[in-house]
Structure 1
């Protein structure tokens, strides 16, 4: 009945439906109740098994409601104030859902529903829960989300089947009741809990404990270390929590541990014993006096894949950082250290490093070839050589980006030389992998740094965002990899507020007889950097160079050597693919790239004559008017 308009029912509408078993009045989430009944319904519904009445207008079920066969009672968004009087015998009832019934102030007596499995009283106005709940020994799930008036719960020790207890946003709940040892999920997000009872140690099957945003929580009991099944522990935004139990390292099963924006200033040394830990985050935790987070050696965390130490006021990183052999992502942004341990080069599994806003950082050691976000490292002067792997290994992202926005102290010439070497090497490795496996994930490498000129390595250059290149005979051979691309972007006080900047391009291949093929792609994807901790924004007030290689520029198996001309048009986009007015592409460059020593015989083009080739090619550069380009995009007759 969800598609019907308002309906007015006679109170005797169901009187003769003695065998009615399924009754559902539904409505879309934002609609009000559209079924109106005056003075209640005159029916006992003795055979009814399923009752779903979204937005029910009744303040209470009628006294003659005696559906002992009822299995499911779903009355979300109802006008119920008191579900029923007394304790009707509903021995088959397994599910009650009264969520969003904001007028519900009196908790039902559940004595007549001993087989209840799921109970949802979320977003109601209940101040207390009936003690009859203690006898629901088959109850699996209890949801009391956003019951802001709720001050306490009865003893739940006898709820032997309880697996999930959800008390999110119960902002007046200051104490927990005694809980059964079989509970697996306990969510106390944004509660008023000040401490956990010592009996928490008996929750031997607890898998997930969420105390995030419990801003009155001051400490954790030492015996929390006895929760041997615990896999997920969240303490984020527990702003008064200033210490972790010394024996936290005995939580053998722990996989995810988040303690962001707390007052914790020292991490217990026992943490190195968390052999199964995969994610560890202390983002924004630096002690109440802002002295900075003190870290122990981390050498024992062999399963750790993600470590977040963003904005922890750290002045020195432990040398043991390089022993985290499984680490994929490392977030160190907004800290005060001047250098990074050289051991970081040993992180063979690392794919992403965030050191953005480390304004005291002066040098980077040799790094594994990874995506690195060094936004606004204004003191950075030295970047040691980026290592290049012996063979191409496709990562999940299949891209490498190195952002050095606002890093003005770097030696630009050295940086360009190193970056171009890496771009060429990676393109060669990718092509070899392509021939070996025939089908391979596309790869891209992009470097970004302050500058106003297209490096000379890009043999074809043009002012503006558009360039046309004449391709000589023999340009397409077995060693051809694709096109190296470069764009100089002019920024006029562009403010980074978490919005991304994409550099896209359109590529058009044209043959002598007028046939053409067009592709569109992204040269620089601003989505890759999440700018995790934007507590202050920076402005980009100068030109920056973006240069790199993208294998998706061209699909090698689809190219016809009859193409003798290629055009590129670069353009910028922000969120929702909208243009960014304060930025523009002022220069661009292209280079035909050829792989070296990949075990494939060369075709008509000999790479030994590369210098002569580039000299001849430079004479063929055309910077035709952009309007002409767009007109040529129209399909020929």
Structure 2
């Protein structure tokens, strides 16, 4: 069997392997995972110079053969869930200079020896679920280490100085951890879920993109957030009263059950403008997209969730509703920019827009079109002005009474959006349906869902046309329905100060009714939108 390269003996009742693998010179991979009766590996397994991957996860092995260190090509060593394994042989660590990944998670290791620094090629170290109280100071010498996994190390109380090149640090459910050292400047992902003894955080690295603090219920404040932060999770951080200014790149903020949070963070101070190339790119999808099923390549929605943050209701909520137009404007611009970035790098079939969920039962006044119940119908203006429609802001208040008491509480809101476009010669319908993301929290009070749904590529005709937009909202999964809803068209408006730049304006921003008919050159056109509130002058609009 000199050409045998892989042995896989997973989930078998095997109790013993041959004492020597010397007759398998070509062996590269040995898997004996979940062999719960196997307690020993061959003594001379390390003599094989081609052996690059050993995995005995879930076996009954209590010690590692020291001869493994003789393999100068071994890249992966996995002894996770070996409950009898309580130590790492120092001699083993001294010899594995080629090892790239060491995984000994959920075993019974009581101590990590200083010699771990000898693993000079190590890029991944997974030690989750073990019983050690600390890591050796020598770990900072692992100059190639990129990921360090220490989840469920329930005895871990502190960390030494960490390697400068570390990009991912996983500390979920390290319940005894009380403090963190200075974080590496290259760190991109930090997971502190369930670290409920932490009272403060050090300065966050500028490269950090994901921060998970779910269940850190002793944290009273957060440090300044990095500019490139994309994902922030704050569920059950019930000592937080306020949040710092958010990153301009933030795509997801989930702060459920932060029951002391009294105010939302300041709206990021960014330019509320879009380059014309953004709208041009998003308005002209590649024909190749027609080969993909709808939604198969959706851009990620921007989501800010404040479910069960009940202190935000009342006086604070009035301020939030007053600021909601600015928040939706910022999130709409951010979602269009995000969609543009994805469109130029890869194909997308749908822009998902943005969504914010917070306690309350009122629809903000700037929604010029409001209705009790779950449906609403509006008329859009005719001619070239309508071609600058880039989407709709929407608002819904779902009825959170459960259909049945035993149902698991989660829901999402679905919007059926249909545009009926009539010209003198034809009528066409454009389906622009929208699904919000799942809301999985147990909610017992009214919440408001505010969002922006992009709808580029509608294809409005050049001449006179009559367009009706019909919205029907549905509360899916265990809910009664929709109490109230509102919609507001959103248009692109050329910037008066910068060429090839657009702002986005909402239909509630005042414009003069006379400007539309005078710009169109047709005085007897039927006025299609009775609301006196419009967004800008039609003669300022140029189709992107």
State the TM-score, normalized to the length of structure 2. 0.70
Correspondence 1:401 to 2:313: no
C-alpha separation between the residues in 1 aligned to 2:196 and 2:328?
31
Which residue pairs with 2:539 in the alignment?
none
- In structure 1, the partner of 2:429 is 517
2:103 corresponds to: 234
Give the Cα separation in 2 of the matches to 1:608 and 1:215: 64
Provide, for residues 233-282 of structure 1, a one-character-per-residue CA deviation record: whole Å limited to 9, x for no partner: 222322x2233232334433333333333223323333334444443322
Query: Retained in 2: the 8 A contact 1:491–1:541?
Result: yes
Task: Indicate the residue corresponding to 1:467 in structure 2.
Answer: 376
1:504 matched residue in structure 2: 414
Distance change (3 Å), C-alpha of 1:606 and 1:227: closer
Query: Matches of 2:224 and 2:384 in 1, distance apart?
Result: 36
Q: What is the aligned length?
A: 456
Instruction: State how 1:616-635 maps to structure 2 within 5 Å.
Output: 619=531
**Aligned counterpart for 2:357 among listed residues 427, 440, 448:** 448
1:186 shift after superposition:
0.7
Output the CA distance in 2 between the equivalents of 1:297 and 1:356: 24
Q: What is the aligned counterpart of 1:172 among 17, 25, 37? A: 37
Mapped partners of 2:429, 2:148: distance in 1? 48
Residue 570 of structure 1 corresponds to which residue in structure 2?
473
Residues 197-236 of structure 1 mapped to structure 2, 5 A cutoff: 197-225=65-93, 226-236=95-105
**1:173 to 1:502, Cα distance in 2 relative to 1, 3 A:** same
* Structure 2 partner of 1:294: 158
- The 3-state SS of whatever aligns with 2:509 is helix
State yes or no: 1:270 paired with 2:148. no
Query: What's the counterpart of residue 215 of structure 2?
Result: 357
Q: Secondary structure at the match of 1:489?
A: strand
Determine if contact 2:186/2:205 at 8 Å carries over to the other structure: no
Aligned residue among 32, 43, 63 for 1:195 = 63
Q: Does 1:540 align with 2:443?
A: yes
Matched, 1:141 2:36: no
In structure 1, the partner of 2:459 is: 558
Does the CA-based 8 Å contact 2:128-2:149 persist in structure 1? yes
- Equivalent residue for 1:254, pick from 110, 122, 138: 122
Q: State the partner residue of 2:257.
A: none
Q: Is the CA contact 2:150–2:171 (under 8 Å) kept in the aligned structure 1?
A: yes
Taking a change above 3 Å as real, the CA distance of residues 583 and 243 of structure 1, as seen in their structure-2 partners, is farther
Give 1 or 2 for the bigger CA radius of gyration.
1
Q: CA deviation at 1:507?
A: 0.9
Q: How far has the Cα of 1:314 moved from its partner?
A: 5.6
**Aligned residue number for residue 343 of structure 1:** 203
> In 2, distance between residues paired with 1:436 and 1:311?
35
Preserved contact between residue 380 and residue 386 of structure 2 (Cα < 8 Å): no
Distance 1:272 1:417 in 2: 50
Residues 313 and 334 in structure 1, CA contact (< 8 A), matched pair in contact too: yes
1: distance between equivalents of 2:37 and 2:343? 62
1:428 equivalent in structure 2: 333
Q: Which residue of 2 aligns with 1:65?
A: none
SS of 2:310's partner is coil
Superposed CA deviations along residues 344-372 of structure 1, whole A, max 9, x for unmatched, are 37235x1x433333333333444345233
What is the TM-score normalised by the length of structure 1?
Answer: 0.61
Listed one character per residue, the Cα deviations across residues 95-149 of structure 1 (whole Å, up to 9, x for unaligned) are xxxxxxxxxxxxxxxxxxxxx2xxxxxxxxxxxxxxxxxxxx4432222222324
| Aligned-residue offset at 1:571 | 2.4
User: What is the alpha-carbon distance in structure 2 between the residues aligned to residue 424 and residue 250 of structure 1?
Assistant: 53
The 3-state SS of whatever aligns with 1:565 is strand
Counterparts in 2 of 1:220 and 1:301: CA distance versus 1, 3 Å: same
Corresponding position of 1:279: 147
Confirm or deny: 8 A CA contact 2:386 2:460 kept in the other structure. no
The structure, 1 or 2, with the larger RCO (C-alpha pairs under 8 Å, 6+ apart) is: 2
C-alpha deviations, 1:459-510, integer Å up to 9, x for none?
Answer: 3333333222222346846764322223233434799999964433211112
In structure 2, what is the equivalent of residue 611 of structure 1?
510
Q: How far apart, CA to CA, are the structure 1 residues paired with 2:243 and 2:116? A: 38
Partner secondary structure for residue 114 of structure 2: coil
> What is the SS of the residue equivalent to 2:204?
helix
- Could you tell me which runs of 5 or more consecutive residues in structure 1 were left unpaired when the two chains were aligned: 1-115, 117-136, 532-537, 574-579, 622-637
Match of 1:110 in 2: none
Partner of 2:486: 589
SS, match of residue 379 in structure 1: coil
Check conservation: 2:418, 2:469, Cα contact below 8 A: yes
**1:572–1:332: structure 2 CA closer, same or farther, 3 Å change rule?**
farther
Map 1:127-166 onto structure 2 (within 5 A): 137-157=2-22, 159-166=24-31
Q: CA RMSD in A?
A: 4.2
SS in 2 for 1:458: coil
> What secondary structure does 1:539 align onto?
coil
Report deviation, 1:181.
3.8
Equivalence for 1:484: 393
Q: Which residue of 1 aligns with 2:192?
A: 332
Task: State the SS of the aligned residue for 1:344.
Answer: coil
Render the CA deviation track for 1:362-410: whole Å, top value 9, x for unaligned: 3344434523333333333211221325698999964332223223345
Cα separation, partners in 2 of 1:607 and 1:585, compared to 1, 3 Å: closer
